[in-house]
């Protein structure tokens, strides 16, 4: 927030440490359409950082572009080839959920559309 601007918005780079002034812990963190900008190792590192900021029993909720299987992702790439962004890393439930489950135990996932999914991790 710019001083004296009256604007309550601010920006922060998720790849950098937590900006000063934010509380040290949260009950819930919700992310919408952010994680597809990160490759898998970066996704996992960011999730680790966010989970460390959630109180016990709290939630990390991630809604993003997501496909149930690699085959569904390939189908979408073919279907939308003129608009496909090769510089983004879309979630594939069958690939990423086992990695998350190995780190955090229970992982809830719901495929809400052909290309959208919601991941819920409980600390």
Say if 103 falls within a structural domain: yes
Residue 43 maps to a domain: yes
Residue 6 maps to a domain: no
Q: How confident is the model at residue 57 (pLDDT cuts 50, 70, 90)?
A: very high
- Domain assignment of residue 74, yes or no: yes
Whether 85 contacts 32, CB under 8 Å: no
In a domain, residue 95? The reply is yes
Range in 16-25, 28-37, 54-63, 64-73 with the lowest mean pLDDT = 16-25
- Asked if residue 3 belongs to a domain, the reply is no
Q: Are 77 and 84 in contact (CB under 8 A)?
A: yes
* Position 4 pLDDT exceeds 90: no
Task: Please provide the average confidence, as pLDDT, over all residues in the chain.
Answer: 88
Local confidence band at 10 (pLDDT 50, 70, 90 cut-offs): low
C-alpha distance from residue 122 to each of 8, 53, 59, 60, 119 (Å): 29, 12, 5, 6, 10
C-alpha distances out from residue 35 to 29, 44, 50, 56, Å:
13, 10, 12, 23
Q: Domain span at residue 115?
A: 26-60+69-122
pLDDT of residue 5: 41
């Amino acid at each position: 927030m710019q001083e004296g601007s009256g604007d309550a918005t601010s920006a922060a780079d998720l790849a950098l440490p937590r900006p000063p002034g934010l509380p040290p812990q949260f009950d819930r963190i919700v992310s919408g359409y952010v994680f597809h900008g990160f490759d898998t190792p970066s996704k996992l590192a960011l999730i680790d950082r966010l989970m460390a900021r959630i109180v016990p029993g709290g939630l990390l909720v991630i809604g993003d572009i997501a496909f149930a299987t690699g085959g569904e992702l390939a189908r979408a790439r073919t279907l939308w080839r003129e608009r496909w962004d090769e510089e983004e890393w879309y979630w594939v439930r069958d690939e990423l959920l086992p990695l998350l489950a190995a780190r955090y135990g229970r992982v809830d996932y719901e495929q809400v559309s052909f290309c959208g999914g919601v991941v819920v991790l409980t600390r």
